[in-house]
Structure 1
Amino acid sequence: MAHPPGTGRPAALTPRRYVGIGGRGPEDVVADARGRVLSGDEDGRILRVDGLTSAGPARVEVLAETGGRALGLELLPDGDLLVCDARRGLLRVRLDDGTVRVLADSVAGETLRSCSNVIALSDVTVYFTVSSRHHPLEHWIGDLVEHTGTGRLPRLAPGDTEPEVVLEGLQFANGLAAAADESFLVVAETGAARLTRHRLTGPRAGRSETFADDLPGQPDNIWRAPGGLIWVAPAGPRVAGLGFLHRRGPAVRRAAARVAVRAPFRPTGFAGVLAFDDQGRTVHHLERRHAGFRMVTSVCEADGLLVLGSLWEKGLAVCEPPAAAD
């Protein structure tokens, strides 16, 4: 059963500091066991930022270069990093020497050009999202307007070289996380403002249903705190006109998408994060309506604080943690 966010007023998202990365567009953020935060930028660099939560200056280290556009990240137990690259596909990066290896650059015979987010389960099975089969990353807004429903969830089993599509028809598939017991996955559908649960085990294995619907924003990346909550970053607020447009015919939506990709884009001052438990209940809902840090596309916890990434900004934002839930 879906549990929408509570109707009460969201708590304040309170910034503590901003840290530049010497580049632009740290779209995803993940924290390692030492509280360091890894991200990528629009030039394909993989970065590690240390000292984000301390009073002194943070240190930014370049670990690798993908040669494309780094998006979703997943740290592996052996220290390697899985990277979704919007131009090169699914990559595995050795952080000790920067070696980059392509794991998959096509899915079902199609070039993988909108690889978005990735996770690895304890048995080393890898799942990742493909946002759109029609629009590349730079035309992401076109897919949200056209409402193509061509997002996919492929799986790469241990030892396999070709991914298998296990779920499709998603509205701009984006963030991805697993349940604590790995019995299901949670997929963000940015274009539908919802989270979808795809079951991996039990009598309903292979089936999907809504996990959380009618979100207050368009969900982007998802990060699961070790042993804790599922954190979701809404990249922007809900746009009322999109719902009306999505009910129109395909020709109207395609025409509107062509206009949208040519129009100049500037994100609003909306910034927010959500946290859910494994039952789909909202535990935290934080917002800031006139934020200087815009288009929040990811969130993770590091040393008890929240670290935000953005497809738009030139750095990371560090924010106060939420108050304990009642």
Structure 2
Amino acid sequence: MQRPGALVPHRYVAIGGRGPEDVVADARGRVLTGVEDGRILRLDGLAADAESGAEVRVEVLAETGGRPLGLELLPDDALLVCDAERGLLRVDLGDGTVRVLADSAAGERLRFCSNVVALPDGSVCFTVSSRRHPLEHWIGDLVEHTATGRLLRLAPGSDTPEVLLDGLQFANGLAVSADGSFLVVAETSECRLTRYWLSGPRAAQSEPFAENLPGMPDNLWRGTPDGPIWVALAGPRVPPLDLLHRAAPAVRRAAARVAVRAPFRPTGTVGVLAVDDTGRVVHHLARRHSGFRMVTSVCETGGHLVLGSLWERGVALCEPPEPK
């Protein structure tokens, strides 16, 4: 992979809540995100120049009663939400009504729903990062390397998801190909993207899509079908962790027990990628010694890359790459 370009910050915007884990942009350039206390927020005015004096307006759209993570806007003024505590939700953006679409799969409670996409046929696909560790112990799953992540599909009118793909290493971000023939799933602890075919001669099969990434992929975002898939890199690769993943299961379990009790502070190295539908990296931007840490999501709107974070109390606006 070529040397990364610079991830150049424009400004930081406090939003009155911690952990805007996923950021998605609507057709009007507003950004929606969910924060630690369960609120769904909409940020309006991010595109304005900071020197203009215009303030970013933060509006509370709903409260999930849990911990919202991945988001997906729907055309009927609704929002799909992966809630780490409550499961897959649908939020009416007009009145803030929250409805649970699914809270169990294959006979067990959904733990740690992560990211979601809606398909043209009305079905919804979403990921579960871990069946063993909850969100607050996410680092335990990365260390233990449990391979208990899943890709699920909820058919229209159903409340029981089917398992499309099992055995994923911390299944996370999700995006649809431009032609709708496959999904791209981020496997965070494996530093790779995986393709799952929805149609065609290889339907229901999976294969590597982009491997040996320079960091741990988190949420994915695609603004338009002809645009790239943006990949947030939550942290750089950690060689000792790669080595630990090859150790015996008992060793990994013991290390995970230590990891969930140890104080955690994210690294100052952050990055984002953009890939096309062949898995080719078209943009790679990175910054060392960043004051904005643990980038878990990225979207593009209003002439900025907007970065979200599980760690920070706001979003960061950065300079987008030059078109190729």
Q: Which residue of 1 aligns with 2:118?
A: 120
How many aligned residue pairs are there? Answer: 319
Q: Which residue of 2 aligns with 1:157?
A: 155
Letter in 1 for 2:44: D
Letter in 1 for 2:295: V
Question: 1:308·1:318 contact (CA, 8 Å) conserved in 2?
Answer: yes
TM-score of the aligned structures, taking structure 2 as reference length: 0.98
Q: Which residue of 2 aligns with 1:297?
A: 296
Question: 2:46·2:302 contact (CA, 8 Å) conserved in 1?
Answer: no
The question of 1:232 aligning with 2:235 is answered: no
Q: 1:29 aligns with which of 18, 23, 43?
A: 23
Q: Which residue of 1 aligns with 2:164?
A: 166
1:88-134 residue CA offsets vs partner (Å, 9 max, x unmatched): 00000001100000000111111112100000011111000000000
Q: Which residue of 2 aligns with 1:72?
A: 70
Question: 2:296·2:307 contact (CA, 8 Å) conserved in 1?
Answer: yes
Letter in 2 for 1:281: R
- Matching of residues 87-106 of structure 1 within 5 Å: 87-106=85-104
Alpha-carbon distance between aligned partners in 1 of 2:111 and 2:166, rounded to the nearest angstrom = 16
- Matching of residues 75-224 of structure 1 within 5 Å: 75-224=73-222
Question: 1:93·1:101 contact (CA, 8 Å) conserved in 2?
Answer: yes
Alpha-carbon distance between aligned partners in 1 of 2:166 and 2:111, rounded to the nearest angstrom = 16
Alpha-carbon distance between aligned partners in 2 of 1:169 and 1:304, rounded to the nearest angstrom = 38
Alpha-carbon distance between aligned partners in 1 of 2:264 and 2:283, rounded to the nearest angstrom = 29
Alpha-carbon distance between aligned partners in 2 of 1:226 and 1:304, rounded to the nearest angstrom = 15
Question: 2:216·2:236 contact (CA, 8 Å) conserved in 1?
Answer: yes
Alpha-carbon distance between aligned partners in 2 of 1:250 and 1:271, rounded to the nearest angstrom = 30
Q: Which residue of 2 aligns with 1:324?
A: 323
Q: Which residue of 2 aligns with 1:20?
A: 14
Q: Which residue of 2 aligns with 1:3?
A: none
Alpha-carbon distance between aligned partners in 1 of 2:103 and 2:219, rounded to the nearest angstrom = 21
Alpha-carbon distance between aligned partners in 2 of 1:225 and 1:211, rounded to the nearest angstrom = 20
Q: Which residue of 2 aligns with 1:41?
A: 35
In angstroms, what is the RMSD of aligned CA positions? 0.6
Alpha-carbon distance between aligned partners in 2 of 1:196 and 1:79, rounded to the nearest angstrom = 30
Deviation (angstroms), 1:207: 0.2
1:173-218 residue CA offsets vs partner (Å, 9 max, x unmatched): 0000000111000000001000000001110000000000000000
Question: 1:53·1:318 contact (CA, 8 Å) conserved in 2?
Answer: no
1:223-243 residue CA offsets vs partner (Å, 9 max, x unmatched): 012131100001000000011
Runs of 4+ that moved beyond 6 A: none
Unaligned runs of 5+ in 1: 1-5
TM-score of the aligned structures, taking structure 1 as reference length: 0.97
1:27-48 residue CA offsets vs partner (Å, 9 max, x unmatched): 0000000000000000010000
Deviation (angstroms), 1:304: 2.6
Alpha-carbon distance between aligned partners in 1 of 2:223 and 2:283, rounded to the nearest angstrom = 13
Unaligned runs of 5+ in 2: none
Alpha-carbon distance between aligned partners in 2 of 1:11 and 1:289, rounded to the nearest angstrom = 11
Alpha-carbon distance between aligned partners in 2 of 1:77 and 1:273, rounded to the nearest angstrom = 27
The question of 1:54 aligning with 2:59 is answered: no
Q: Secondary structure at the match of 1:262?
A: coil
Alpha-carbon distance between aligned partners in 1 of 2:94 and 2:270, rounded to the nearest angstrom = 34
Letter in 2 for 1:154: L
Q: Which residue of 1 aligns with 2:256?
A: 257
Q: Secondary structure at the match of 1:248?
A: coil
Q: Percent identity?
A: 75
Deviation (angstroms), 1:270: 1.1
Letter in 2 for 1:214: N
Alpha-carbon distance between aligned partners in 2 of 1:324 and 1:73, rounded to the nearest angstrom = 26
Question: 1:221·1:232 contact (CA, 8 Å) conserved in 2?
Answer: yes
Letter in 1 for 2:80: L
